Structure 1
């Protein structure tokens, strides 16, 4: 029997096609989605919106999901090729639950589904995803074949209709950032053969931008490099292009274009924490202009200390959360935060239904850079206050034992604080580190930051020696 727990992750559905899942399962997930998100009386949701990335398996999986949903009574709006944040825009603007078929930065043989409720509200294990999985499991036989039961008596099958949302998505983003007066900029963009090649030309159209496109051809086999800018090797081409053409900056999008990474005019990566601080400053100013006295900004616990420092200096309120979009979005809803940022280059905006959009963050960077004469490296220098290790993964046999060994070595010092909001965080006067266990792999993830680069290296090496002992 198929093990759907290997397919249904904490925040999405993701696995290889066709061995882990196929159209028959996609059809079942569509039916289960509208059943689980239906009302208390058992009626399914009235309508949903679906979209997909450029992977070879995406169109057929998406259509099967749509047919499953329609068979259980939901009208399905198909928006076709789109970025994940474009799907969130559709979910928010149409006020419909949504399904995005993508495996983000994973290799070509993978595919998945990111699900949301109406208004782009997240669907995770605790907000419906485990219920969807359990319902689909109940439809599997001993051989793993799935048979979707007939819809409840009286169910009127839904319809399938197509709608183009790219223009509306573009208009909404451009309404949130004033780019009318920026100076001309040369911008290199590496789409990684992903959905940035679909969205960037339309979103950037009409701006005073000399666009240098790289790998804009939509190709889910990723012939040039993995669409994962978090891995430094996938930024090499962009860095070289920025230097070659004398660009003012470079932007790199992941496969589904919901994350955006930035390199400066020298081809050096700009820390996502620095981008978080820069965008936070702009969103705080915008909220103040609208009459908000003390706007709130969310940051996860592995962003640089510079982020809450900048937020406090601006008279706003920083709120620290666990890593992960469901925690960020939940805290944004509770606090009515204007913005949220993660060190993984996910950026969340209240005016974008609290959803993450790398494109909107990119527009803020363009507006900030183009609104003054300095280079990007000079502009972001004030946000780079600490030396950081970046995230370092270690494969371990016993996550808990290694974590406790690190606690014993570092948690007892004078002026040292310890918290367990997400893994183990130990902090001194001018340094901190966080050690978190992966939920899906036998890994420990380490992030270290210190005021002094030598102290950062000392802490990094010391903790890793214990983790890898």
Structure 2
């Protein structure tokens, strides 16, 4: 038996909490580390020794089965029972846990490179809060076993997730549609294809692989941009759908193969579902307010725990949350064509994808047509990888040192600074309406840059020029 102080373990191993669970290099995520986190989670919920069933799922990363085995060992050591749901999208596991009143653990690193991984935790009523996270990191646990065989897979979670959307949207919704699914190594690839086919679409599977592909829906690379255009032309597609690795963030392409920005996807989805209040991070497009579609828009720090906390503050009306990565969180009071939508307050990729297809289908327009009439505000984002977090914060502190420090990066190209927002990182708004937002990633050693302008090319240029100057 080894006694482990979680705070010390985080410092020693480098496996620590970011914006979405505990993450680190695979080499750091030893069986002991993963079992310790599992025990701390169970201890924080006061479930040890009570025989509580805990749902467990994983993505398709090569390291995920070993980490899941360590989680099984921790669950059993705590006197709890494992309900193993196998490989599935994170929102499918979250829905299953919520409906059945179960805590849950998802082994996933989402979109980050394959040499990293992570563990995400859910209470029976949804994602853990920052307070729950603090309780876990302050715990001390005794670890006995660090690995156990994975149990037989319970298919109920995937079945329930599939049925949620088939029953909401109807079997003939997509009759006549040709939809490409960029499968890569997404944990959602099979259920996504199944649901689209059930809704009447002709589905074309594309680029399925057993090698993990770290798709980042906020920073789509040029190779994947060109792939989208080529596929749309080759297969005469009406739409192109994909997700990140664990299927909680959508990537949606129109009939030309151009990928839609996640915050615009969220804006359209919230409108389709009849939201009165939208909760979204500061990094998302200001077209949300400019559209005039919502009674209230609440801005938060980046990360689903902050979006969820904002959603929980809303007392009435339909509530939706979404992030710049496209992940959509369904709150109370939403509906699909008059059918009540059960809340799922965790990032989901299937709901926004299906909502946009349904909007286009019912309006008899192409996907690109949904963008007509939106305020002409465009966002772009990218990142510098392998950029230490300490370097990111040093840069932000330097830029905040005085009102003119930003000129060291941009000179006079952006004009007069009119607002500096430090809600999450540093978001600078200039007199010409352009916005540049710098922020260290909460999940990996990366510096992210977001920009907003009146033209897409200008937003992309702002991001590229900013990151080039920072990188030297």
- What band does the TM-score fall into relative to the shorter chain? 0.7 to 0.9
Check conservation: 2:228, 2:258, Cα contact below 8 A. Answer: no
Report the CA distance shift for 1:57/1:420 in structure 2 as closer, same or farther (over 3 A): closer
Aligned mates of 1:3, 1:415 — CA distance in 2: 43
Shift of 1:265: 1.0
Question: Which aligned pairs between 1:386-425 and structure 2 lie closer than 5 A?
Answer: 386-393=377-384, 395=387, 396=391, 398-404=394-400, 407-409=403-405, 416-425=418-427
User: Which among 18, 21, 24 is matched to residue 15 of structure 1?
Assistant: 24
In structure 2, distance between residues paired with 1:62 and 1:371: 42
1:275-354 equivalences under 5 Å are: 275-284=265-274, 295-310=276-291, 313-335=292-314, 338-350=319-331, 351-354=342-345
CA contact (8 A) 1:182 1:371 kept: no
Q: Please give the alpha-carbon distance, in whole angstroms, between the structure 2 residues aligned to 1:465 and 1:226.
A: 23
Going from structure 1 to structure 2, the CA distance change for 1:267 and 1:389 (only over 3 Å counts) comes to: same
Q: 1:172 aligns with which of 164, 181, 188?
A: 164
CA-atom RMSD in angstroms = 3.3
- Is the counterpart of residue 188 in structure 1 residue 180 in structure 2? yes
Gaps of 5+ in 1: 140-145, 150-158, 288-294
CA offsets 1:332-381 (integer angstroms, 9 cap, x no match): 11115621111122211113331110111111111112223222112223
Label 1:450 to 1:236 Cα distance change in 2 as closer, same or farther (>3 A). Answer: closer
Aligned to 1:231: 220
Q: 1:402–1:174: structure 2 CA closer, same or farther, 3 Å change rule?
A: farther
- Aligned counterpart, 2:197: 205
Residue 131 of structure 2 is matched in structure 1 by: 127
Q: Any conservation in 2 of the 1:191–1:255 contact (CA below 8 Å)? A: no
Distance change in 2, residues 1:315/1:330 (3 Å): closer
Task: Give the C-alpha shift of residue 48 in structure 1.
Answer: 1.4
Equivalent of 1:63 in 66, 69, 78: 69
Instruction: Report the Cα distance in structure 2 between the residues aligned to 1:162 and 1:192, rounded to whole angstroms.
Output: 23
The structural deviation recorded for 1:95 is: 1.2
* Structure-2 residue corresponding to 1:290: none
CA contact (8 A) 1:189 1:238 kept: no
Query: TM-score scaled by structure 2?
Result: 0.81
Distance 1:449 1:245, change over 3 A: same
Decide whether aligned partners of structure 1 residues 16 and 369 sit closer, same or farther in structure 2, where only a CA change above 3 A counts: same
Shift of 1:263: 1.4
Which of 366, 369, 388 matches 2:360? Answer: 369
Say if 2:33 is the partner of 1:25. Answer: yes
Choose the corresponding residue for 2:436, options 419, 422, 433: 433
Task: Tell me which moved more, 101-110 or 295-304.
Answer: 101-110
Partner of 2:371: 380
Aligned residues between the structures = 433
What is the distance in 1 between the residues matched to 2:470 and 2:114? 33
Q: Specify whether residues 47 and 193 from structure 1 end up closer, same or farther in structure 2 by C-alpha distance, changes over 3 A only.
A: same
3-state secondary structure, aligned to 2:423: coil
Q: Which runs of 5+ in 2 are unaligned?
A: 332-341, 408-413
Which of 222, 242, 251 is 2:232 aligned to? 242
For 1:28 and 1:420, locate their aligned partners in 2 and report how far apart those are by CA, in whole Å: 34
Supply the distance in 1 between the matched residues of 2:227 and 2:192 (Cα, whole angstroms).
18
Secondary structure in 2 matching 1:103:
coil
Residue 444 of structure 1 and its aligned partner are, at CA, apart by: 4.4
Which sits farther off after the overlay, 183-192 or 226-235? 226-235
CA distance 1:44–1:417, shift in 2 (3 Å): farther
Following superposition, the deviation at residue 20 of structure 1 comes to 1.1
Give the secondary-structure state (helix, strand or coil) at the position aligned to 1:191: strand
- Give the CA deviation at 1:169: 0.9
Correspondence 1:251 to 2:251: no
Conserved? CA contact 2:399–2:405, under 8 Å: no
